[in-house]
Amino acid sequence: MGEMKPTPGRWIVRRSGGDEWYFREGEMTIVREGDEYDAIAVMSACAQTEAHFNLFAEALNVREEVGLSPVQLVEQRDELLAACKKLVEWEAREKDHAIGFMERINLCEVAFQMMYAALAKCEGVK
């Protein structure tokens, strides 16, 4: 995987310069940009902590932007991917006739049911 490109959003990681009365020098916090008092976490700064804070801020920005957690987005992606693979499998069987006509019809039906279910999930339909 490449370098993470943060989702632009209001949740940011900020390192304190020590001039704020509520943070010590070098502490980091996750805040909503422009809202000094809406801090989620405060921790002494180190490289590992900063990476964790950036990841957490990213998850908050994704949640605000699309209304889903990163885990929910992965679940949707996996469902769409499985449906696409099933459609590709059906197309291959249509071309090579490796299975009988009725099996191809059933495979087609399953592939489209998977696709409709995945699309419904993406659109928030239960």
Q: pTM of the entire structure?
A: 0.61
Query: Is residue 60 a contact partner of residue 7, using CB atoms and an 8 Å limit?
Result: no
Q: What is the pLDDT of residue 105?
A: 95
For 102-115, the pLDDT digits (tens) are: 999 999 999 999 99
User: Within this chain, do residues 20 and 63 fall inside the same structural domain, yes or no?
Assistant: yes
Mean pLDDT for 27-45 is 59
55 and 90, same domain (yes or no): no
Phi, psi of 37 (to 5 degrees): -105, 0
* pLDDT greater at residue 60 or residue 35: 60
- Enclosing domain of residue 95: 71-122
- The verdict on 61 and 93 lying in the same domain is no
Residue 27 has pLDDT above 70, yes or no: no
Do 81 and 114 fall within a single domain? yes
pLDDT in tens, 57-89: 788 788 888 888 888 889 999 999 999 999 999
Residue 119 or residue 17, greater confidence: 119
Helix (H) or strand (E) holding 60: helix 47-66
Higher pLDDT, 55 or 21: 55
The verdict on 82 and 97 lying in the same domain is yes
Task: Clarify whether residues 57 and 78 are in a common domain.
Answer: no
Same domain, 83 and 116: yes
Rg, C-alpha atoms of the chain: 23
Nearest-angstrom CA–CA distance, 95 and 107: 13
Same domain, 49 and 81: no
